[in-house]
Structure 1
Amino acid sequence: MRILKSLVLAVAAATVAGQAIAGGFAPAVPEPAPTVVVEPEAPRSTWGVVLPIVLLGGLIALAVANDSDSEDDTPAM
């Protein structure tokens, strides 16, 4: 019975000792602080409004210039 108590005590001590040195001898590495990413504001541009207006004006001018209803374009017979 005395050997059984010694054996149980040795197993318990080995289990506790194994958990105590489970981390090893390496120094603890602290976690880095979280970084905050701030996105810069997008620069505002007036081309977003001006460009479609200019293109629309160009298309209207092109449509007026290519009008085929004028009498100057009719071939002479």
Structure 2
Amino acid sequence: MRVVLAAPLLFVENRERRLLRNIERTMKLTIPEVELPNAELLGKRRLEKFAAKVQQQLESSDLDQYRATAEQNSADGRR
């Protein structure tokens, strides 16, 4: 069994900040504020993950099945 620890997220609107500060004061801890990623950053991360998967596949697997499909598509005139 594998245990994965994840950091909890808390979404707080501006009107709820006072309540959050009261909770922090009561628990005697501070909850760090983190900016949400924008669409550009999310797209960049997805592209990086995809490129890493492609690179891993190219390095670790037998490409003959893909080569045969590419040759067949090429012979059929597909692009």
* TM-score clears 0.5: no
Structure 1 or 2: more helix by fraction: 2
TM-score, with structure 1 as normaliser: 0.27
- Larger RCO, structure (CA 8 Å, separation 6 or more): 2
TM-score, with structure 2 as normaliser: 0.26
